[in-house]
Structure 1
Amino acid sequence: MKALIIDDERLARKELTNLLKDYGQIDIVGEAANADEALEMVNKLNPDLLFLDIQMPGKTGFELLEMLDNVPQVIFTTAYDEFALKAFEVNALDYLLKPIQIERLNESINKLLAKHQSANPSGRNPDKKLTLEDQVFVKDGDKCWFVSLSNIRLFESDGNYIKVYFDNNRPMIHKSLNALDEKLDSRHFFRASRKHIVNLSWVEAIEPWFNGGLMVRLRGGDKVEVSRRQAAKFKEMMSL
């Protein structure tokens, strides 16, 4: 399992590297001292796991995650325990307080390996399309989430932002729907109109609509209109 250590403190990186030597399953493929370095290394090395400091000069660890299309597993490492609650709110795999204790590190690695074995993820590729098995990082104001794409039922364009529908949440992210559409696997996500992308696995019912279009109802009750231009393609994909 390829891991990247991201921390602005050289000694902290060295200490964690030494602690991880006893875990043969973890292959440390690189180190980064800030978010910009880390972004380049993530795109180049495609790690399965990030050991990520939160407070760093320049961009924070959270801001790094916002820049990633496909987010690996994350174990936060920081000296500031006031960030603990926020880290758990975003559903990180774990949170380690510096100086890192070997017992807590062992707990984190065991949790990681159990999750890795059950998911059995394939190697990441920055050019590959995002599927239902991938996860993304969503931040809206002070609230953050790691979200599996399988749980996101709908993306809705709102000006220069996209509203992301999952559970009872509707956070807004600063991204264009066109850019997102290029990243998503068309076998799982469908561009219903210029304003909407739907998760096909959430489609519950389909009915004819005005001017040759369709109305799609998703599990949970959301309704999305499929434009006339896209209706024929949608019917073909759903085998109607």
Structure 2
Amino acid sequence: MEYMLNFALCDDNESILARLSKMLESLFIKYNFDCKVTFTSVDPNSFLAYVINNPVDVIFLDIDLKSNINGLSLAETIRKYNKNIYIIFTTAHLEYGLMAYRYKTFDYLPKPVSVERLEVTISRLLEDIADTPCKYLKLANSNTFLTYDSIYFIKKDGMKLIFQTHEKIYSSYDSFANILPSLPTNFVRCHKSYIVNINNIQNIVNDRIMFCNNLVCYIGPKYKNTFEEVLSHGNIPNNLDSTNYAK
């Protein structure tokens, strides 16, 4: 997927970090989840710096860190910088449970964390992400997530939809009629075979819509007037085509 779901882990015990990272990676492989543990640290200051300055979607925090910063205060600081990050606490001290949920905690795992309990959490997490319309698109019949920002355009190719992103091409068996209602308003139908993300358009020359990396899609005659009106006035209905056109 474009913009893989990035996990970062913080615990004061190296062996616990290694075990948790290994369990997560095993679950990602088992269920073909497009996720990765991108950072682990026993140092809360290094962890904070990484999370603030890098794309991170999910963090696992030990509450009782052997440091002047505990997991709760670390979560409080991170939440100020990132309102949407998923926070999952791990601790052997169950009395911290109620305090942990002050920081919009997604889950709270008692130590030692079992594979079975972790599996439940990850399944819930990915279901929650799939149900969040503002950031991610889950491809049909797949555990692949794309960020809306990463998509240049969507092309209809027979029974498939082709998703052109910054770096790669993805495909799924789906239809415009099914996907259009769930897309943000910056996704606009411009052709019988194309939906474009107008936020990523670099230039328009005649009937050609141009993106970076020399990528091009086209404006169809049936959509030309409405599409130009959308670009001129910012009136962006993502279902600008009729029901008949969306098929």
After TM superposition, the score normalised by the length of structure 1 is 0.48
After TM superposition, the score normalised by the length of structure 2 is 0.47
| Bigger Rg over Cα | 2
